[in-house]
């Protein structure tokens, strides 16, 4: 099988059903004989039962949609579980509340098949929120200051980029192999926050590259009127995981770049996420020690070097793709 779409879900009931339908329609022009949507669900039991009722039996019976239940809610372990249960050569990661842009999946798939460099890490479609128009689509994050940096821009040609969250596509063997998935954040079942930055910067450290693929953006559904209703909630993973919320940002900052990098990121970690750096750094070091050692053993480019002279900032690296599906 060539392509698996992986989704983690926590108590999204209606929006997950919409996302599944959007993915199915977006898979049609790709023209694959087989593909699959693999969902790892972290919902409350009563929500899970209602979710399964919203998925047509024909999709479940045919294997087009696969859903498994993981009782302890952790976004990072859920995505890794979905990746392990997937069969595709490529993994396309989506949130459980998304609309797929016109030909977005086709353009990502074609890039991986025909244009991606041999050392590709993640290839990214741009993202917008439902209250944005397409002019506000973003492909990357600014890395000139503390991380996570401000949103960057969208690109009209395939271009190396720093990092971004989903929607992304990668090779399954890369995600579960050299990258090591979400590493310490998954191993210790941390709560929401830090995962996109963690798997986004790791490829560059390990000698891989992230690329922007020009295509129609994926759209976050939310926040919506009535979002206090359980069926319409947004980012339900904010109440999940172990340890204080957003600790993953601090763990990631230390794992990727040590205490020097934590000092660099402190203004954002303290100012935006209210993380008690002094009080929580010993815990972050303990949780991230094993992964930090693995990265130091395998890294090709220290994070400090990458941030000082970012290879993704070189305009000569962009390429042109003739006959883009848009």
pLDDT for the residue numbered 317: 63
CA-to-CA distance for 21 and 326, rounded, in angstroms?
Answer: 20
Indicate the range of 4-18, 49-63, 213-227, 264-278 predicted with least confidence.
213-227
pLDDT for the residue numbered 326: 44
The total of structural domains in the chain comes to 1
Check residues 226 and 64 and name the one with the higher pLDDT. Answer: 64
Average of pLDDT values for 168-195?
Answer: 97
Highest mean pLDDT among 69-73, 122-126, 238-242, 311-315: 122-126
CA-to-CA distance for 16 and 20, rounded, in angstroms?
Answer: 6
Kindly tell me if the per-residue pLDDT of 217 is higher than 70.
yes
How many helices (H) does the chain have, and how many strands (E)? Answer: 11, 11
pLDDT for the residue numbered 323: 46
Nearest alpha carbon to residue 309 among 162, 211, 157? 162
pLDDT band at 46, cuts 50/70/90? confident
* Residues making up the chain, counted from first to last: 326
Q: What's the CATH number where 52 sits?
A: 3.90.550.10
Nearest alpha carbon to residue 315 among 159, 112, 100? 159
pLDDT for the residue numbered 196: 97
> Which range marks the domain in which residue 322 is found?
1-326
pLDDT for the residue numbered 228: 61
pTM over 0.95: no
Kindly tell me if the per-residue pLDDT of 288 is higher than 50.
yes
- Angstrom CA distances, 83 to 7, 39, 79, 180, 237, stand at 9, 9, 6, 12, 18
pLDDT for the residue numbered 234: 55
Give the residues across from 156 on adjacent strands: none
Q: Which helix (H) or strand (E) element contains residue 211?
A: strand 209-212
CA-to-CA distance for 216 and 22, rounded, in angstroms?
Answer: 14
- Angstrom CA distances, 76 to 6, 95, 119, stand at 12, 12, 24
């Amino acid at each position: 099988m060539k392509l698996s779409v992986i989704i983690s879900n926590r108590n999204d009931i209606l929006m997950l059903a919409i996302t599944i339908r959007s993915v199915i329609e977006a898979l049609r022009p790709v023209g694959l004989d087989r593909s699959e949507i693999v969902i790892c669900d972290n919902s409350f039991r009563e929500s899970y039962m209602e979710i399964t009722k919203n998925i047509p039996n024909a999709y479940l019976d045919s294997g087009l949609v696969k859903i498994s239940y993981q009782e302890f809610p952790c976004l990072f372990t859920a995505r890794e579980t979905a990746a392990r249960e997937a069969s595709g050569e490529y993994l396309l990661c989506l949130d459980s509340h998304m609309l797929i842009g016109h030909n977005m999946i086709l353009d990502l798939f074609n890039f991986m098949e025909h244009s991606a460099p041999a050392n590709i890490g993640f290839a990214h479609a741009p993202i917008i929120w439902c209250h944005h128009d397409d002019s506000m689509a973003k492909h990357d994050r600014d890395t000139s200051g503390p991380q996570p940096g401000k949103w960057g821009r969208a690109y009209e040609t395939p271009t190396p980029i720093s990092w971004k969250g989903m929607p992304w596509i990668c090779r399954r063997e890369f995600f579960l192999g050299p990258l090591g998935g979400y590493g310490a954040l998954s191993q210790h079942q941390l709560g929401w926050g830090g995962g996109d930055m963690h798997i986004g910067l790791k490829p560059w450290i390990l000698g891989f590259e992230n690329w922007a693929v020009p295509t129609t953006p994926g759209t976050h559904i939310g926040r919506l009127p009535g979002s206090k209703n359980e069926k319409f909630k947004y980012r339900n993973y904010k109440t999940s995981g172990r340890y204080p919320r957003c600790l993953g940002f601090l763990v990631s900052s230390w794992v990727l770049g040590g205490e020097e990098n934590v000092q660099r990121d402190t203004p954002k970690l303290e100012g935006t996420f209210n993380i008690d750096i002094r009080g929580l750094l010993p815990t972050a070091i303990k949780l991230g020690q094993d992964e930090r050692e693995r990265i130091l053993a395998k890294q090709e480019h220290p994070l400090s070097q990458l941030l000082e002279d970012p290879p993704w900032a070189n305009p000569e690296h962009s390429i042109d793709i003739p006959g883009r599906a848009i």
